[in-house]
């Protein structure tokens, strides 16, 4: 569905059209689920967060100015809601801080690691990033947003997006030599 | 090469380096894309880094979360919550929007009329603001006589519970019996159950129920489910 078609859908939701709302739900459910899960890494709260996001879309669709793309508006709500949930339901163990010891990584070349091991390492490396860093990485590579759109989603300046990505890349370089991500900034 | 040139080269290198992830995902606008390409032509550090961004990006894209298809029951519940929200009268919100529209209207009026129109609209706006403010502080005045109370007094409370993987059905039932609860939804694909227990007069406080659940080795997660969906979404406020 194109951005324009989604815009129309949101307008219909703003007019309290239940069918349009259902359509939007099916359109975004998997994406929202994936993003919220990757961001929070807490299986048990993902469903409720996605539910809250949909309700926020229902009540807030009238406020969507149409200045941004519907997807950035929706992801912005998802991001905000997920972070709020993380604060409301903190883990007994705090999220890994930036200065915690790096996870021990075996220096095996990629060819010796199978797909699953690589994915496993990626997952663990990502959990070593802060939620905001993880968000920038996910939104860039998985959801393929521009840095300007990411700034909208995260409600922060564009330079902050670039800085977070810069730090995330540096950290990931140390954690994942297997992905050929080693070396200096030059 | 003088120092000034060196500094500015370093700056343009860092600028390009910073933008590489978005060059890799193809979202840079024409001008920035061109300047990154120009820099790539003469910087092998950045060419190498671009390769890394692309490899990494490919790996991130492969990390598909097995996101379940939305369960029909979940959608049903969501739509019920929507109806609950719509049945609840809310105070007037969104004053900013009418104001923007009004000021746009003033801006397009011919000069002579503009002042008068602006004054009239300002007066109307003040009136609307006063009415809205009054409404916000006494939401009960919106109820009509024929309308049932918007939110029924809750005689039950709902909890979200996740059991540890080895828990047998027998243990689950025993716990449910102990807390006089029953499953109203679940298990979801992630193993979350929604459990309903009595609340209000005569029933154990929810905190006691949760404590009982959490003290069991069979329970890995237990939290109350927020009761009012309208308060949950109102909390979010204006997201632009």
State the Cα–Cα distance between residues A127 and A131, nearest whole angstrom: 8
pLDDT recorded at residue A136 = 97
Decide if B206 contacts B224 (C-beta within 8 A): yes
% chain A with pLDDT above 90: 57
CA A125 to chain centre: 15
Determine the length of chain B. Answer: 240
B64 Cβ under 8 Å from any chain A Cβ: yes
State the Cα–Cα distance between residues A85 and A87, nearest whole angstrom: 5
State the Cα–Cα distance between residues A61 and A59, nearest whole angstrom: 6
> 3-class DSSP state for residue A145?
coil
State the Cα–Cα distance between residues B233 and B16, nearest whole angstrom: 41
pLDDT recorded at residue B79 = 94
pLDDT recorded at residue A169 = 94
pLDDT recorded at residue A26 = 92
State the Cα–Cα distance between residues A85 and B129, nearest whole angstrom: 33
Interface probe for A, chosen from B67, B86, B90, B235 (most Cβ of A below 10 Å), is: B67
Nearest CA-CA distance, residue A172 and chain B, Å = 9
State the Cα–Cα distance between residues B36 and B39, nearest whole angstrom: 5
> 3-class DSSP state for residue B184?
strand
pTM (2 d.p.)? 0.62
pLDDT per position as a tens digit, A82-100:
999 988 877 654 455 444 4
A181 vs A71, which has greater pLDDT? A71
State the Cα–Cα distance between residues B186 and B194, nearest whole angstrom: 6
State the Cα–Cα distance between residues A106 and A103, nearest whole angstrom: 10
State the Cα–Cα distance between residues B16 and B33, nearest whole angstrom: 9
Residue A117 binned pLDDT confidence (cut-offs 50, 70, 90): confident
B233 Cβ under 8 Å from any chain A Cβ: yes
Interface probe for B, chosen from A49, A51, A88, A115 (most Cβ of B below 10 Å), is: A51
Burial A107-124 (b: 16+ CB within 10 A, else e): eeeeeebeeeebbebbee
- CA terminus-to-terminus distance, chain B: 49
C-alpha separations of A47 from A82, A85, B74, B85, B192 in Å: 11, 11, 9, 19, 9
pLDDT recorded at residue B106 = 58
The pLDDT profile of chain B, 240 residues, written as one tens digit per residue, is: 577 788 888 999 999 999 999 999 999 999 999 999 999 999 999 999 999 999 999 989 888 766 667 778 888 999 999 999 988 776 544 444 555 555 555 555 566 666 666 667 666 766 766 666 665 554 444 444 544 444 444 578 899 999 998 889 888 988 888 888 889 998 888 889 999 988 776 677 888 888 889 888 899 889 988 754 444 444 344 344
pLDDT recorded at residue A97 = 45
By C-alpha distance, the chain B residue nearest A13 is B82
State the Cα–Cα distance between residues B186 and B156, nearest whole angstrom: 18
State whether ipTM is beyond 0.90.
no
B177 vs A74, which has greater pLDDT? A74
Q: Which of chain B's residues have a Cβ under 8 Å away from the Cβ of A113?
A: none
Task: Please compute the mean of the pLDDT values over residues A12-21 and round it to a whole number.
Answer: 95
pLDDT recorded at residue B95 = 45
Q: What is the DSSP letter of A61?
A: G
> 3-class DSSP state for residue A100?
coil
pLDDT recorded at residue B206 = 86
């Amino acid at each position: 569905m194109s951005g324009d078609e989604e815009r129309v859908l949101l307008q219909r939701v703003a007019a309290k059209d239940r069918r349009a709302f259902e359509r939007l739900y099916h359109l975004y459910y998997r994406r929202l689920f994936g993003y919220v899960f990757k961001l929070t890494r807490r299986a048990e709260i993902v469903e409720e967060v996605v539910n809250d996001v949909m309700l926020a879309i229902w009540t807030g669709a009238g406020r969507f100015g149409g200045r941004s793309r519907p997807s950035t508006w929706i992801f912005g709500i998802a991001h905000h809601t997920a972070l709020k949930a993380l604060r409301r339901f903190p883990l007994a163990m705090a999220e890994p801080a930036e200065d915690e010891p790096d996870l021990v990584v075996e220096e095996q070349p990629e060819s010796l690691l199978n797909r699953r091991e690589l994915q496993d390492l990626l997952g663990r490396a990502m959990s070593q990033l802060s939620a905001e860093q993880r968000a920038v990485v996910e939104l860039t590579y998985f959801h393929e947003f521009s840095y300007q759109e990411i700034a909208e989603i995260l409600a922060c300046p564009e330079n902050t997006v670039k800085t977070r990505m810069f730090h995330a890349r540096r950290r990931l370089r140390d954690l994942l030599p297997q992905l050929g991500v080693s070396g200096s900034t030059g | 090469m003088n120092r000034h040139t060196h500094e500015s080269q370093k700056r343009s290198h860092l600028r390009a380096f910073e933008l590489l992830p978005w060059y890799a995902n193809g979202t840079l606008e024409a001008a920035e894309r061109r300047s990154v390409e120009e820099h790539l032509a003469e910087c092998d550090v950045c060419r190498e880094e671009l390769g890394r961004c692309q490899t990494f990006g490919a790996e991130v894209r492969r990390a598909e979360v097995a996101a379940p298809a939305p369960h029909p029951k979940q959608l049903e519940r969501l739509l019920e919550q929507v109806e609950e929200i719509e049945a609840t009268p809310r105070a007037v919100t969104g004053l900013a929007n009418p104001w923007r529209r009004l000021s746009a209207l003033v801006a397009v009026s011919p000069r002579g009329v503009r002042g008068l129109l602006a004054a009239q609209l300002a007066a109307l706006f003040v009136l609307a603001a006063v009415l809205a403010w009054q409404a916000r502080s006494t939401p009960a005045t919106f109820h009509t006589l024929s309308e049932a109370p918007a939110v029924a007094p809750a005689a039950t409370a709902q909890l979200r519970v996740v059991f540890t993987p080895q828990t047998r059905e027998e243990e689950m039932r025993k716990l449910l019996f102990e807390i006089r609860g029953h499953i109203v939804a679940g298990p979801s694909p992630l193993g979350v159950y929604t459990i309903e227990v009595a609340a209000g007069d005569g029933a154990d406080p929810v905190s006691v129920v949760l404590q009982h659940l959490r003290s069991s080795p069979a329970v890995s997660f237990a939290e109350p489910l927020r009761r009012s969906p309208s308060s949950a979404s109102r909390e979010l406020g204006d997201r632009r």
